[in-house]
Amino acid sequence: MTKRLPAILLLLLCLSAEAQEKLDSTVVSAVGNRSLIVPGIGMESNVRTELLLRAPSLMGNSDPLRFVRMLPGVTTGSELDAGIHIQGTEHQHCIVSAEGVPIYGASHLLGLFSVFIPKHYKSMEYRTGEKGANRLGGAIEMRLPDEMPDKVHGSVSSGLISSEGSFSFPLGNRAAAFVSLRKSYINLLYGSYLKLDGNTFKYGFGDANLTFLWRPSEQDILWLDSYAGMDDLGYGSFENGMDVDMDWHNMMGALHWKRQLDGWSLKQSLYHTSFGLGMDVKHDFFKIKMPSGIRTLGYKADLGIGRWKLQADLGIHRGRPQRISSVGGYFRQTSPKELQKGVEASLALCYAIVYNVQWNVSATAKGQLWHDGTALHPYFSPEIDASFNAGRPGQISASAGIRRQFLSQTGLSSVALPYEFWLLAGKYNKPQSSIYGRLGYDKDLDEGAYRLSAELYWRELSNQIEYKGSVLDFVREDYALENALLKGKGRNYGLSILFRKQAGKLTGWLGYTVGRSLRSFDDPAYPDVYPANHERIHEFNAMLSWAVRKWELSGSFVAASGTPFTAVESLYVTQGQLLCNFGGHNAGRFKPYIRLDLSANYYFKRISGGRGHGVNFSLFNATGRKNDIFYMVNVEEGRKFTYCSIFYKVMFLPSIGYFYRF
């Protein structure tokens, strides 16, 4: 028996689950001739693409999801965390979509980049409370362009790890096509740094968008939208005689139709979206396969008539939970092939009342149906929102309600690699639900040049699930998915404070959030209340942007409490096997997380409308902080064992890239 556990298995083991609405929305404000990035209070708020491009870039990429993570109330993930956690919710509680169509795997490896090419979209909407989709948390939605280009326009950029291009083509007076492509070549320059346990791995990703826009009349807009993305990872360890191959992909196609007349509007969408993962681990003595996937065929409709709003949503889901099969040595196939089926339907009716200009109240009644393949389950989820504008003293707002969710995501980890898989409510878990409440305050200062916001939030979560196993469980003959799931309740509460500068050459914000995300489980082996694996009790964020002449300078800073993890208390060897004794569930904490990112755009030539060409300089983790990624048992020759923190070998990542916009 080898004295050294395979590195990928150690990584998987350490990344097991044992180791892991309205404030902070983002709006656009105009002061003079400049558009500014300004976060604020609002259930629906918008950031235009040109503003996203002014946020700090990483290796030449301005990413929408990384922008959202810098807002207070949104947990800033570590370098390997691909999840979005809004006000203490799990990342699977939030929906990431393109024009309302869900994208199930929205991040590439390491969580450093999303699958979205910003220039392909008109804007990004960020909502801390999502009412349209059946989700407990918030939403990030990329909005498609709706204006006809007068001529061919484009944007091309090339950095050290990838190149991308976005182009728009007029097709007559009433139609246009939008094409965006991105391809990575990360191994060319950074291949020597991509190592696990001293062994290099190879990685690449790509994205492709194609959108047709047609305006048959002044009242109608039609989009035919498609997206395809792929990731491919290969890892080989000669010392351990092991090879790992992973590939995962997204595919989406949608037809949207929007019709707007005086007094009413209707938008309808028909779509198909899917995500699939394939993973093969080959060793001299065994082979393990872990495929999984999900696909959805859906229809959405949104009708607004005066103060009334009617929303309908239908989704037909096909899910394939992670299937474990192993061959060789003492291994054998451990889980059967399984296909989950489910249908969800919802109908929401909302009525808004405006009284004496100062009061604004809206009430929503939402009926939901879920069919899990065996039975039909009805639910009722009401919500209410109210705001009072007192003028100079400021604006007070409040909301409360019930939300439900029928899709869950769980697995080894939400970080680094997409080992998590989707489950449909039914056999393994009940539909998730939350009862929430919030109280907000918002006030303009110095005639709108500054703005102060604060919010208290609270959520009670039911039917939560968490994966308690590790990769070593996959080789057990008695492995069963239902035995690897923890089920229970959750509670999120906290306070967010935000101070914004909205005018002048220097704009941005300072934000602070204090909050708890607590979980309790039905399993008697977990009798206490535990912090969620993404919880950061304290978090301070800053985002600044300064435009002067040919320069656009920006920076972001985050300082946060360390996230919880389940630590190893002791190690020992018996009969040639290394055994670990773990401490309390999520009882350990990583060191405080601190990171400073800097970025600068210099234009050789700058034309109105954001056109021109220049270079981008960026520096990720400019202070060289050694932030913990995870803890790992390191087995060295001579039976020397160490339990230590793992962090990037390269402390900071500089980058330079060229861009050309016409």
Query: Model's pTM, two decimal places?
Result: 0.86
| 31-45, 178-192, 307-321, 534-548, range with the lowest pLDDT | 31-45
In whole angstroms, what separates CA 124 from the centre of its chain? 13
* Token pair belonging to 283: 């060793």
Check pLDDT > 80 for residue 239.
no
What is the per-residue pLDDT for 567?
82
Check pLDDT > 60 for residue 296.
yes
Radius of gyration of the chain from Cα atoms? Answer: 25
* pLDDT tier for residue 40 given thresholds of 50, 70 and 90: very low
Q: Where are the domains of the chain?
A: 23-554
Give, in order, the Cα–Cα distances in Å from 590 to each of 85, 108, 414, 432, 509: 18, 24, 17, 29, 27
- Residue-wise pLDDT tens digits, 567-609: 887 777 776 666 777 788 888 888 899 999 999 989 998 887 6
Name the region of 616 (left: φ>0; alpha: ψ -120 to 50; beta: rest).
beta
- Residue-wise pLDDT tens digits, 248-264: 899 999 999 999 988 89
Highest mean pLDDT of the ranges 127-136, 417-426, 454-463 = 454-463
Compute how many other C-beta atoms are within 10 angstroms of the C-beta atom of residue 285. 12
Check pLDDT > 50 for residue 333.
yes
- Give the mean pLDDT of 366-390: 94
Check pLDDT > 60 for residue 172.
yes
Check pLDDT > 60 for residue 10.
no
* pLDDT tier for residue 41 given thresholds of 50, 70 and 90: very low
Residue, of 18 and 84, whose pLDDT is higher: 84
Q: Considering the domain 23-554 in this protein, what is its CATH number?
A: 2.40.170.20
Highest mean pLDDT of the ranges 37-41, 140-144, 277-281 = 140-144
Give, in order, the Cα–Cα distances in Å from 149 to each of 179, 203, 226, 620: 13, 36, 19, 35
Check pLDDT > 60 for residue 494.
yes
What is the per-residue pLDDT for 281?
77
What is the per-residue pLDDT for 17?
34
For 465, residues 6+ apart whose C-beta sits below 8 A from its C-beta are 408, 410, 423, 428, 429, 432, 485, 486, 487
Residue 119 and residue 180 in contact, taking contact as beta carbons nearer than 8 Å: yes
Residue, of 280 and 218, whose pLDDT is higher: 218
For 33, residues 6+ apart whose C-beta sits below 8 A from its C-beta are none
Check pLDDT > 70 for residue 242.
no
* Token pair belonging to 328: 């060789």
* pLDDT tier for residue 240 given thresholds of 50, 70 and 90: low
What is the per-residue pLDDT for 527?
92
Backbone angles phi, psi at 263, to 5 degrees: 90, -15
Please provide the average confidence, as pLDDT, over all residues in the chain: 82
